Structure 1
Amino acid sequence: MSAAASPAEMRAFIVERLVGDTGEPDQVAAAARALAERAVPAIVAGLGESLGVPVSVEVADVALIRMAQARPGVTNHAMTIAASTSSPDALVLAIDNDAVAVVVSLLFGGDAGEPAAPIARDLSPLEIEVATSVFEQIARAVNGSGPRAFEFKLPVPMAMTGQDMARHLLRDGPAVRVVFSLATAASRGTVALTMPQRVLLKHRGDAGMPAGDGTGPDWRQRFSEEVMRSAVSLEATMPLARLTLGEIAALEPGQVIELDEAAQTSARLTARNKTLFVCEFGKLGQNYTVRIRHPYDAGQDFIDGLMPG
């Protein structure tokens, strides 16, 4: 969130950092399942048209997770991240090696009644393209149309795998994951869809919720107002210069420590041990101040820490 954000986006960002989950768990899970079940027929149709043979697609699991858990832990899986008008990481899609094997086999005329040859090595460039094609079909099916569309930026980026995928940083936050099973008569694999809860609820917050259950717009608005009235303590800290352990051990009372040149413009504003903004330290009359520069980006801060100076 280094770009300028609207007041509504800034409010959602701060609440997400401080509160954690952005939605009531049952509501989020119901909305995700309803979205997935509506997308299944379109996914089946798209894959069937591409492969020339029918493929079974079912919703295998829906779970609330953290966004950082969306990345596969196995290097011969593949992943892509689709942005939308409301989020740079609105949709994370991951496919396992078994599902890639199924699609590759069918794409090149394999018998759907015979098991697909397993892929125990890293994915080849051709298999990465196949994975990207599957991601594209799923993203289009999930995107929808009309005023409730997620507005993903399509086509999706080329899938990443191996070390490129392992090194990729994902912004953390509350998310929901839907696992689709992709199967033929003899083989089966999985494709996982992960989406930030705030993105899902923005477009599908009313999905799967029966009328009159106490979770309508009025109830959510009153609950949000109560949350926003909660008082939290803000703390501003300024970084000192980098010192070696030996230099720190040699410090004595009365010794003056020189501030780093960028310290004044790198103050951090935190609440409940969560960093919210990068600020500039200053003074207005007799009072010290901090001026907000931009929202804190944990991923960028990690990268900056790897390349000091």
Structure 2
Amino acid sequence: MSETEDTTVEEPIAGATEAATQMASESVGPASNAAPRRPAALPASLVDRMVGRLGTSSQMHERGVMFQQALGPALEEMLQLSTGLEIDVRPGKIRMGRRRELWAELIDGSVYCTGHVRKWADEVSYFCGAPLVIGLVECLLGGADPETIEAVTRPLSAIELDMSLVIFENLSDVVASAVSQAGEPLKANVDAPSAVVPEEIDDPAPDCHAAAIGFEIEFAGSSTVAYFIAPQEQLLKTKPVKRATIKDDEAKAQSDWRERLSKRVVRSDVRLEARIALDQMRLADISRLQPGDVLAFPEETGARVILGGNGKDIYNCALGRTGQRYMVRIEDPTGVDENWRAAFT
């Protein structure tokens, strides 16, 4: 039997739905003139467990390990194909709870997105630690050596947030491969990444029982985490393939990370800054400056302007004027290296 044929869909506990319905609707005693007593309501968690929406800790841990074994090797291969960098993926923690509770636990220091696996689950979600995204973009855009990168956790820039989509696309593709039925490959898609989860009132999906299947991702000497979150009901029904596979066309599509990143940078709007160098002053003189004081440009050289952005100097310029507007004229580069675009992520 092939790996794809290992995928099976399992049914909830036999007769559980009928039993729950019967217990909730039965009256006590035979019919009489007295009003029938209202049957005691079953705990919601018990009903969910009986009908297959909620699993036990052992059930979900077992199913989570199956998905880690199926997804991990393929995710590692996809990330390496996408980036051309050495990335290791190992099994991580398996968490259980309500979907929004898991979101609240995982969003700190992470970026997330929602997604859909057609004919399997309408609502799944993915989380990835911000240090992984920051490190990958720094290596791919700036040409940095992974061995010299220091892991940091900070809010992602617009470019970094946009490029995290490639990680989520990789994870989404291997999930679809792992749950596909024999002879019927499933398609998956992901939504725009975000660093903030929506408020409950803005969340269109029901807050179901879910499980977060984690992975430890090693890159550049540091470790971060990624999670795949799905309804327990779907995880309980599905036995994934032993190992998700990567199609040739999918692998080819993932190899354009650098090109996508470069195009994204070129399209970005960057706020430029022009700094004017003035004469040196003693600290004592600077401390006595008051509003209205006037500082002159150096007489012998005129106003020297340095043009840059995001703390990176790019060009030496000369200050001029056209009509009522001050202008700068590009003179020559400041001597930055060829990877200066990395400063604008």
What is the CA distance between 1:68 and its match in structure 2?
Answer: 1.5
**Structure 1, residues 91-146: CA drift from partner, whole Å, max 9, x if none?**
210112222223223333332212335242x3222111221110110111122264
The 2-side partners of 1:205 and 1:26 are apart by: 17
Partner of 2:135: 102
Q: For residue 216 of structure 2, what is the aligned residue in structure 1?
A: 181
Query: Quick one: percent identity of the two aligned structures?
Result: 17
Paired residue for 2:47, among 15, 18, 42? 18
**Is 1:142 the counterpart of 2:175 in the alignment?**
yes
C-alpha spacing 1:76/1:152, structure 2 compared with 1 (3 Å): farther
- Alignment match, 2:145: 111
| Residue 193 of structure 2, aligned match among 159, 172, 186 | 159
Alpha-carbon deviation of 1:65?
A: 2.0
Structure 2: distance between partners of 1:203 and 1:80: 22
Amino acid in structure 1 at the alignment position of 2:102: A
Change (3 A) 1:184 1:171: same
Give the Cα–Cα distance (whole angstroms) in 2 for the partners of residues 23 and 148 of structure 1. Answer: 26
Mark the CA change 1:205 to 1:75 in structure 2 (over 3 Å): closer, same or farther: closer
Whichever residue aligns with residue 139 of structure 1, its letter is S
Partner letter of residue 138 of structure 1?
L
Q: Shift of the alpha carbon at 1:152?
A: 6.0
Asked whether the 8 Å contact 2:116–2:189 carries over to 1, the reply is no
Instruction: Tell me the alpha carbon deviations over residues 178-215 of structure 1, each in whole angstroms, 9 at most, x when there is no partner.
Output: 121111242221111111111112222898xxxxxxxx
**More displaced 10-residue stretch of structure 1: 15-24 or 171-180:** 15-24
Contact 1:102 1:188 in 2 (8 A): no
RMSD: 3.3
Q: Please tell me the residue identity of whatever aligns with 1:96.
A: G
Deviations 1:133-181 (A, max 9, x none): 1011011112226416997653311212237589752522221111211
**Unpaired segments ≥5 residues, structure 1:** 1-7, 208-309
Q: Work out whether residues 93 and 192 of structure 1, in 8 Å CA contact, stay in contact via their aligned partners in 2.
A: yes
The equivalences for 1:159-308 within 5 A come to 159-162=193-196, 168-169=202-203, 171-204=206-239
Cα deviation per residue 1:20-47 (whole Å; 9 max; x = unaligned)?
5522332221111111122111111111
Encode CA deviations 1:227-261: one digit per residue, 9 max, x unaligned: xxxxxxxxxxxxxxxxxxxxxxxxxxxxxxxxxxx
Q: What secondary structure, in the 3-state scheme, does the structure 2 residue paired with 1:28 have? A: helix
SS of the residue corresponding to residue 62 of structure 1 reads: strand
Say whether the 8 Å CA contact 1:68–1:172 is kept in structure 2.
yes
Q: 1:36 & 1:26 partners in 2: Cα distance?
A: 15
Q: Does 1:64 align with 2:93?
A: no
Letter in 2 for 1:111: D
| CA offset digits 1:267-288 (Å, max 9, x no partner) | xxxxxxxxxxxxxxxxxxxxxx
The number of aligned residues is: 195
Structure 2 spans left out of the alignment, 5+ residues: 1-11, 22-43, 243-345
Q: From the superposition, tell whether residues 100 and 46 of structure 1 become closer, same or farther in structure 2 (CA, over 3 Å).
A: same
Change (3 A) 1:80 1:100: same
Work out whether residues 99 and 191 of structure 1, in 8 Å CA contact, stay in contact via their aligned partners in 2: no
- Give the Cα–Cα distance (whole angstroms) in 1 for the partners of residues 199 and 187 of structure 2: 20
Name the structure 2 match of 1:297.
none
Supply the distance in 1 between the matched residues of 2:241 and 2:232 (Cα, whole angstroms).
Answer: 13
CA contact (8 A) 1:148 1:204 kept: no
Q: Is the 8 A contact 1:82 1:92 kept in 2?
A: yes
Q: Structure 1 residues 159 and 17 mapped into 2: Cα distance closer, same or farther (>3 Å)? A: farther
Contact 2:165 2:193 (C-alpha < 8 Å) held by counterparts: yes
**Distance in structure 2 (CA, Å) of the matches to 1:70 and 1:149:** 33
SS at match of 1:95: strand
SS of structure 2 residue aligned to 1:144: helix
Output the CA distance in 1 between the equivalents of 2:188 and 2:81. Answer: 19
Q: TM-score, normalised by structure 2?
A: 0.49
> Which runs of 4 or more aligned residues in structure 1 lie more than 4 Å from their structure 2 counterparts after TM superposition?
14-17, 72-76, 148-153, 163-168
Q: Distance in 1 between matches of 2:160 and 2:182?
A: 33
Match in the other structure for 2:77: 45
